[in-house]
Amino acid sequence: MTAKPHLSYQEQIEVLAGRGLAFSDYELFLKVLRTVGYYRFSAYTYPLRVIAKGKDSSTVTRSEQFRPGASFEDALALYEFDKKLRDLMSEGLEMVEIGLGAQIGHVLGRRDALAHLDKKFLDLSRCNAPDKPSKPHGLTSFEAWVEKFYFLRGRASAEDYVVHHELKYGGRIPIWVCVEFLDFGALTRIYRLLNRWDRLEIAKRFGIVDDFAGLFEDWLDSLNVLRNQCAHHDRLWNRVHLNPRKPNLASVSSSLLHISDLRAIDLTRLYPLVAILGYLTRAQDGESAWLCNAQKLFSSFETSIGITPENSMGFPDGWQELELWEPVRKSK
């Protein structure tokens, strides 16, 4: 087998046009292919293709032919919406990441300035557990955390506050300073190693009460994957995401319980993560405008070919009337 042949930009347009994708501005089409790339952009043309049966007649796939009326402009609108969507989700994730760092620095710092490097201030059983259960003789979770910590510290070695602590305190940097160079993944890792009462206290700051089942920890894992997707400019719209754990009334307020009633397929779409981010940002900062910005973006999204938040991102019917979005309605 050989690889696909290389095509010029003109040939790429000819291929798409030959399959039925209409366009009105050749120069704009050419510019998009040059700046975005055929493969990335083609992901936004995929839902415009004709639905076809798979070889076994039980699976549904898409043919190479486009639906009547499908256009380059439709795909470009989806691409531009996805850019706005990544910006929105990145904004919410930033709020959670910064807030999580602040809470870890404050709560763990009360125990000891260097508690993040001493197992006696953490959950000993979690620290000693294998970092990767499939490799029980590899690093422990604490060893993996320390390795990650020093990697990030080394990367931040030229920062003024790190240099200051090197010169004045012999490199002993307190946890409330370290959180400045820890990324979302590292914050999630050290949160997992905190003792139970410290984890419960921090989760409560994010609107999760009596979190003995580790709901917040599970959500942080899902949000960390989402953050990495945003950082790598991955497509968020119309894709399968991690299925975050369902909440219950014992752990969250009633405003988030509706995601437990979503269909199984919708639990793997974007909406549960949108709802969780909205809930966490509002719990963290009651004056946050994130939910309002989210409502504006999703309410404005409906393409000329009938693609909506409900049928492409798992939004429930009548989502704007749900309790979670009530502050947005009141602000209007």
Whole-prediction pTM = 0.92
Tens of pLDDT, residue by residue over 170-184, are: 999 999 999 999 999
The DSSP secondary structure of 195-233, one letter per residue, reads -HHHHHHHHHHTT--S-TT-HHHHHHHHHHHHHHHHHTT
What pLDDT is recorded for position 272?
96
| 58 pLDDT tier (thresholds 50, 70, 90) | low
| Whether residue 330 has pLDDT greater than 90 | no
Residues 294, 88 contacting (CB under 8 angstroms): yes
Q: Mean per-residue pLDDT for 244-249?
A: 90
SS3 label, residue 5? coil
| Whether residue 60 has pLDDT greater than 90 | no
Measured distance CA(70)–CA(46) in Å, rounded: 11
Tens of pLDDT, residue by residue over 84-115, are: 999 999 999 999 999 999 999 999 999 999 99
What percent of the chain is modeled with pLDDT above 90? 79
In terms of Cβ atoms closer than 10 Å to its own Cβ (0-12, 13-18, 19+), residue 154 is exposed
CA angle 119, 222, 258 (to 5 degrees): 120
Lowest mean pLDDT among 28-42, 102-116, 243-257: 243-257
Q: Which of 235, 230, 244, 239 is nearest to 183 (CA)?
A: 230
Measured distance CA(50)–CA(47) in Å, rounded: 8
SS3 label, residue 226? helix
Residues 251, 213 contacting (CB under 8 angstroms): yes
Encoded tokens for 233: 């400019």
Q: Which of 268, 289, 290 is nearest to 277 (CA)?
A: 290
Detail the DSSP E strand segments found in the chain: 49-53, 60-66
CA angle 110, 279, 186 (to 5 degrees): 45
| Whether residue 80 has pLDDT greater than 70 | yes
Tens of pLDDT, residue by residue over 133-171, are: 877 678 999 999 999 999 999 999 999 999 999 999 999
53 DSSP β-pair partners? 60
What pLDDT is recorded for position 238?
87
Residues 9, 34 contacting (CB under 8 angstroms): yes
Encoded tokens for 236: 């968020």
SS3 label, residue 90? helix
The length of the chain is 332
Measured distance CA(256)–CA(248) in Å, rounded: 9
Measured distance CA(153)–CA(256) in Å, rounded: 37
Q: Which of 87, 90, 92, 88 is nearest to 284 (CA)?
A: 92
Residues 6+ apart with CB under 8 A from 212: 196, 200
